[in-house]
Amino acid sequence: MAVIWRGNTQDRLYQDTISSGGGNSHKHKDKYKDKEHKHKDHKKDRERDKSKYGNSDHKEFSEKKHREKERIKHEDVSTDRHKDKHKEKDHRKDEIKPKKEKENGFASPHRIKTEPDNDHFYHSPKSLKRQRDNDETEFKPKKIKIENDRVDKKTKKRKQDEDIKPKKTQKNKKGEVADGKKKAKKEPEEKWKWWEEERATDGSKWRFLEHKGPVMAAPYEPLPSKVRFFYDGKQMKLGPEAEEVATFFAKMLDHEYTTKDAFRKNFFKDWRKEMTSEEKSKITDLKKCNFNEMGEYFKAQSEARKAMTKDDKLKIKVENERLLQEYGFCIMDNHKERIANFRIEPPGLFRGRGDHPKMGMLKRRIRPEDIIINCSKDSKHPKPPPGTKWKELRHDNKVTWLVSWTENIQGSIKYIMLNPSSRIKGEKDWQKYETARNLKKCVDRLRNQYREDWKSKEMRIRQRAVALYFIDKLALRAGNEKEEGESADTVGCCSLRVEHINLYPEKDGQEFVVEFDFLGKDSIRYYNKVPVEKRVFKNLQLFMENKQPEDDLFDRLNTSILNKHLQELMDGLTAKVFRTYNASITLQQQLKELTSPDENLPAKILSYNRANRAVAILCNHQRAPPKTFEKSMQNLQTKIDAKKDQLSDAKRDVKICGCDWLKKAVERLEEQLMKLEVQATDREENKQIALGTSKLNYLDPRISVAWCKKWGIPIEKIYNKTQREKFAWAIDMAEDDYEF
């Protein structure tokens, strides 16, 4: 799937989205060309850079150099500070006052106007204007109310599973839940409103947990003997172990992965480990392996599956449903809760994202002996498959997982946990948005603070402050450091390197422009040109002085330092809270801005999607265009071209004859053409931007619920079933006047 190089489209994209301009078709074509081009160039650069700089000796060396530099820098810094001094002084007085008020709550934000102006300051990428929020006073009571509810309402601890009945849900008695072997189909009579209950305060995540354990991966079924494998043109029968791994590769034959060197190399190495010594001695070159019959066989199988009768399909569906009912739920504290991923991950070839050094490695089959089960001591313990044992049976109620195992590629632990609709996930989610709302209350103070810190005489403070500014303004991720060679080379804010930014004192008529170009999570490219304040710009120049491209931009900073600092500024504050906060506040503002009262329902929904899209752009949520995308765009393009021809013909005819009905026809054609072009633009936008991620993870659902209530929009238009389940708490509790 490759690194996704969708460069440079953002500006235009954004424009199209927000200003709702219709696109034109040439644009699209050019864009594609552009992308291709970029891709290659960039990659080349990367490779060159790697060979040039990529070793640790060098790193150490430049590290020393930095230390050396440090002294000098400090001198610079202080002179720098002097220079700025007068200018700042007057400001500073103003700024200090509010800070004081802070201590017992929050400063009155309105009075202080420290930022020069919004356009320079908190404007987000692509001119997305995020206004400063200046209306916080009122929620405080509300917030408190929530807290109070939770704390006061129920005084008794939920100690025994037995005596707590969900407040609102009489039907949902313990007896039914615990003994009754789940009537599969029956609707849970009334939904349990966990959000009206008290939360545990002792750090325990549950008091009772019972489940059936995981569903193991299906055992390997050897290929029918008619399906042959050839090595060097000669048929060869593989033993079951080697054959299984071969099928993993055969199933991916159509995938780009199998053309990549790293993938092939890793695969072959691990495959050979599964071979008998005889096989190993024969099979020495992957290029001589012919998996085609195997590949064809699997293709045929999947065709056959598609071609099955309705009846047979139904049977499969029923069987899946049965599995779901049996293994897909657990009982946690009196309630039957859905499990998210109750199947053990089947063996296969590792598919890392981007330029992952381990792609193609064999992800081994997980056996019961690898699996740790977590459940209540006094629950009915899940049974391992006959003749096997679990690795461990554990009763740890300080964690939320039911099952875990260690994966062999990175050596990390995998978990089976509950569905987002569960109490345990929902509470956490709710809490996340409350923390973000707390940030809203003090964000002005924090912003003033880091602006002050840009002037600090300590390098680490300055770096921290500039990094925080990026995290706040651009919604960058924190950016932990990663071990080289273990995964794709991606970065976040704290791990930015000098090579990831360019500074332009002046660009496109704007001053102090920073150009970002790096691969973020999942190797998604982040590309953005942002005008910053002069002081930030100067600081960046300082940070980059005497560094190599591959040196850390913030060499005095990491996520742990940053988060420690944030924690001191506000309880529960970490870097990622800024993303949540900025995403949610942006949605709220965009909704306010874009929704017009007299518009009809589809238009309102369009506005909602546009607001959502603004957030997705802010957070850089992209996806690769589907395989069929180019083709379907071409089809559309053909239609557009045809329409254009028709139109020009019609126009010519009008000139000749000028009769009324011909003029009408021209109008009609023009309209149709416009529609098609808008459709093309829309599709284009939606292919590159993933709205789902922000909707699911960043946008306080109560904002959307309130918006729906306010405008009489059915919630189903905004949230599908899964989403409604996840956000049940918000749907139930938010009123039309909810403010984030």
Residues labelled catalytic: 698
Query: Are 612 and 695 spatial neighbours (Cβ–Cβ below 8 Å)?
Result: yes
- What distance in Å separates the CA atoms of residue 720 and residue 341, rounded to the nearest whole number? 20
Spatial neighbors of 261 by CB under 8 A, at least 6 apart, are none
In 3D space, the residue among 427, 549, 412 whose CA is nearest the CA of residue 491 turns out to be 549
Provide the token pair at 243: 């054959």
Which is nearest to 704 in space by CA: 734, 660, 682?
A: 734
Q: Would you state the structure tokens that stand for residue 585, as one six-digit string?
A: 């506040």
Q: Which is nearer to DNA, 334 or 694 (CB)?
A: 694
One-letter amino acid for residue 503 of the chain: L
Amino acid in position 247: T
Concatenated DSSP letters for 265-319? Answer: HHHHHHHHHTS-HHHHHH---GGGEE-HHHHHHHHHHHHHHHT--HHHHHHHHHH
DSSP category for residue 205: -
For β-strands 372-374 and 392-394, DSSP reports them as parallel
User: Please, which residue, 624 or 647, has the CB nearer to DNA?
Assistant: 624
Q: Which two tokens stand for residue 4?
A: 């996704």
Helical (H) or strand (E) element with 406: strand 403-406
Compare residues 173 and 428 and give the one whose CB is closer to DNA.
428
Q: How far is the CB of 231 from DNA (least distance, A)?
A: 26
Least gap, CB of 119 to DNA (angstroms): 26
Contact 357, 486 (CB under 8 A): yes
Least Å from the CB of residue 552 to DNA = 12
The residue (of 406 and 646) whose beta carbon lies closer to DNA is 406
The C-alpha atoms of residue 728 and residue 718 are separated, in whole angstroms, by 13
Q: How far is the CB of 703 from DNA (least distance, A)?
A: 15
Nearest approach in angstroms of CB 449 to DNA is 18
For 338, the 3-state DSSP assignment is strand
Residue 586 Cβ, how far from DNA at the closest point, in Å? 14
Identity of the residue numbered 41: D
Considering beta carbons, is residue 164 or 496 the nearer one to DNA?
496
- Could you give the CA distance from residue 547 to residue 66 in angstroms, rounded to a whole number? 8
Least distance to DNA from the beta carbon of 90, Å? Answer: 33
Return all residues near 243 (Cβ < 8 A) that are at least 6 apart.
Answer: 222, 223, 229
Is the CB of 93 or the CB of 398 nearer to DNA? Answer: 398
Q: Smaller CB distance to DNA: residue 108 or 560?
A: 560
Distances 690 to 419, 439, 522, 667, 727 between C-alpha atoms, Å: 22, 26, 13, 35, 19
State how far the Cα of 429 lies from the Cα of 730, in Å rounded to an integer: 10
Distance CA 691, CA 608 (A): 11
458, two tokens? 């300590």
Closer by beta carbon to DNA, 44 or else 313: 313
The residue among 312 and 506 lying less far from DNA, judged by its C-beta, is 312
Smallest distance from the beta carbon of 521 to DNA, in angstroms? Answer: 4
* Neighbouring C-beta atoms of residue 228, cutoff 10 Å: 15
Q: How far is the CB of 191 from DNA (least distance, A)?
A: 16
Is-contact 362 345, C-beta < 8 A?
Answer: no
Ranges of H-type helices in 378-493: 423-453, 459-474
Judge whether 716 and 605 are in contact, CB under 8 Å: no
Structure tokens at 201: 């305060």
